[in-house]
Amino acid sequence: MIFQIFFPVISQAETVFNPHDLLETRINNLTREDLVRLTQMGIDIDGVWETTARAYMLPDRLKELRSLGYEVTVIPDRIRRDSDLIQAYHSYSELTSELKATETAHPDICRLYNIGNSEQGRELWFMKITDNPDIEEDEPEVKYISTMHGDEPVGTELSLNLIRVLTDEYGTDPRITALVNEIEIWIMPLMNPDGYMSQSRYNAKGRDLNRSFPDQNYDPNNTVADRPIETQHVMNWAFAHSSVLSANFHTGALVVNYPYDSDPDPRANYSATPDEPLFIELSLTYASLNEPMYNGSFDRGIINGAEWYHIRGGMQDWNYIWLGCNEVTIELNDIKWPPYSDIPDLWNDNRESMLTYMEWSLRGVRGVITDSVTGQPLNATVTVVSIAHDVFTDPDAGDYHRLLLPGTYDIRFSADGYQTQTVQEVIVGSGNATQLNVAMVPQVPGDINHSNSADLTDAIVTMKLLTGTDIVFPVHKDADLNNDGKIGLQEAVYVLRKISDPEN
């Protein structure tokens, strides 16, 4: 197997970034205050154990930190020294071939998409696995994205294993068949192919993709402008989809890290989302099925992002805040790039976790939101009244999937141009999601005019619905006329019914 090392192509005034200049370091004897300071200096911290942080930096940054009195040790670069280590891993071209072959072998359940090219022109492959893969169905979308840090390749191999299991066992294993039939599964084995090919954490321009997403506290502009190209592709894909549950896979520790990673107070010891109990359950679902993780150095194998160490611009916070999608960050192995012979054991440790976590997308409350007049699916917002965090319908099918712990909830549905509806005391159990479909009634504008208030049988109603539809319709004979001479609500409802079903 040939493993090519690419150096970035530098254009015009771009800063030169050579991944081989980058140093992996340990910064020792740190207090929480030191960590805050290092984060504010923009030091790329990537894991903290008691008073030691792992961090990446260029040589002048190392000098600077040492001159400030920090005790920094440089870790010899094992990956690049030991080429045997990388030999058995899929090369980028082998990964591409395998994904294409899988799609060809399973055309009934697989679609392989290139969602855009990396800085150096490599495709970002995203495999969709579901029944009826060309039809928008009322199904939750789940996504797994791996190896946004190019030197953390375990998740890439596990993603390929997962794709293999989902496709090979479809139709024979009842559980796998149900997963593929009921969920729209998206798996991206390699988000940072350029970094992977140069065994670098960063993309080809030296950007850390997991520090490059919008951040509610420090970079709240939810657009792709000025972000790394790989991040732009993932954001644009996500804007066009409606995932409800996701995970992104890393190595360098053994833990499930749940939002928030970022907090308005850089000194905060913890940063909880409004869905804190749900995130703990989701994380425990994964960790408790992975024995080494559950019994490892983190309590029950899970930790809040900010409690561990703060990051800004992480992908999981962005998913939760802007997409309404529950995402966690899963660290699969303490050693970033273990010998390939460790992969079978790592797959055994994670197989059940990866499947069971995915099944969470079928829990909570789900349904389809439509326009009561036209029956068309709607772009609507779903609010659990007691939890300050909305989710949104997929406007293509109108379906929503609100993950919730068992309990009783009041749920509010709202959409531009429609009357807001609240359904009270919705009971959620621990099994399949409670089904709650809602037909939303268009708001009737206040200024309905009719041409002739004296003779209602000849009157014409002209009405512009707030949904944008213009309606011109003869008033029916039982129209109620308000004191102000305008058509009342009953007549408006009659007109709405008529246009949805003229025979009625």
Q: Which residues are catalytic?
A: 331
Contact 55, 44 (CB under 8 A): yes
Query: Which residue do the tokens 């340990």 mark?
Result: 26
Q: Which stretch binds Zn ion (CB under 5 A): 93-101, 106-114, 147-155, 189-197?
A: 147-155
How distant, in Å, are the alpha carbons of 102, 262, 267, 477 from that of 305? 35, 8, 13, 64
User: Which residue number, 152 or 194, has a Cβ lying nearer to Zn ion?
Assistant: 152
Decide whether 192 or 242 has the Cβ nearer to Zn ion.
192
Closest distance between Zn ion and the C-beta of residue 148, in Å? 7
Is 54 a residue that touches Zn ion (CB under 5 A)?
A: no
34 contacts 71 by C-beta, under 8 angstroms: no
- Site size toward Zn ion (CB under 5 A) is 3
Cβ 138 to Zn ion shortest distance, Å: 34
Report the residue number, 54 or 128, with the smaller CB distance to Zn ion: 54
Report the distance separating Cα 451 and Cα 228, nearest Å.
58
Under the criterion CB under 5 A, does residue 207 sit at the interface with Zn ion? no
Using the rule CB under 5 A, give the single segment among 4-12, 149-157, 180-188, 438-446 that binds Zn ion.
149-157
Q: What is the token pair recorded at 380?
A: 């609507």
For the record, the structure tokens of 45 come out as: 């911290």
Q: How far is the CB of 228 from Zn ion (least distance, A)?
A: 15
Residue 152 or 157 having the CB closest to Zn ion: 152
Comparing every residue's Cβ against Zn ion, the nearest one is 250
In whole angstroms, how large is the CA radius of gyration of the chain? Answer: 27
Bond prior to 89 in cis (omega within 30° of 0)? no
C-alpha 288, offset from chain centre: 22
Stretch that binds Zn ion, among 152-160, 162-170, 221-229, 269-277 (CB under 5 A): 152-160
* Closest distance to Zn ion from the beta carbon of 91 (Å): 20
By CB under 5 A, residue 149 contacts Zn ion: yes
Contact 300, 256 (CB under 8 A): no
Give, as one character, the DSSP assignment of residue 132: S
Shortest spacing between CB 445 and Zn ion, in angstroms: 52
- H helix or E strand, kind and range, residue 38: helix 32-40
Query: What's the min distance (Å) between Cβ of 495 and Zn ion?
Result: 57
Of the pair 287, 332, the CB lying nearest Zn ion is at: 332
**Residue span binding Zn ion (CB under 5 A) among the ranges 245-253, 302-310, 352-360, 473-481:** 245-253
- Which is nearer to Zn ion, 152 or 394 (by Cβ)? 152
Taking the complex as a whole, the smallest distance from the CB of residue 147 to Zn ion amounts, in Å, to 8
| Start-to-end Cα distance in the chain | 70
User: C-alpha dihedral over 397, 398, 399, 404, to 10 degrees?
Assistant: 160
Which residue's entry shows tokens 């191999």?
157
**Closest separation in Å from C-beta 157 to Zn ion:** 15
Subset of 422-441 contacting Zn ion (CB under 5 A): none
Sign of CA dihedral 89, 301, 351, 238: negative
- The span of 214-222, 242-250, 275-283, 316-324 binding Zn ion (CB under 5 A) equals 242-250
Q: 10 Å Cβ neighbour count for 218?
A: 11
Q: Which is nearer to Zn ion, 167 or 329 (CB)?
A: 329
CB 441 within 8 A of CB 372: yes
- From residue 437 to residue 476, the character string flagging contacts with Zn ion as x (rule: CB under 5 A) and all else as - is ----------------------------------------
DSSP 3-state of 445: coil
How many whole angstroms separate alpha carbon 16 and alpha carbon 23?
16
Written in H, E and C, the secondary structure of 286-337 is HHHCCHHHHCCCCHHHEEEHHHHCCCCCCHHHHHHHHHCCEEEEEEEECCCC
Binding of Zn ion by 250 (CB under 5 A): yes
Using the contact rule CB under 5 A, the part of the chain among 249-257, 301-309, 375-383, 422-430 near Zn ion is 249-257
Stretch that binds Zn ion, among 58-66, 104-112, 129-137, 150-158 (CB under 5 A): 150-158
Report, in Å, the least distance between residue 45 CB and Zn ion. 11
Q: What are the angstrom distances between the C-alpha of 317 and each of 71, 166, 262, 360?
A: 31, 28, 7, 19
Q: Which two tokens stand for residue 110?
A: 């697989």
Whose Cβ is closer to Zn ion: residue 314's or residue 442's?
314
* 44-49 β-sheet, strand order: 44-49, 52-57, 23-28, 71-75
Residue 134, C-beta contacts closer than 8 angstroms, at least 6 positions apart: 111
Residues 355-394 that bind Zn ion (CB under 5 A): none
Nearer residue to Zn ion within complex by CB, 130 or 316: 316
Site for Zn ion, rule CB under 5 A = 149, 152, 250
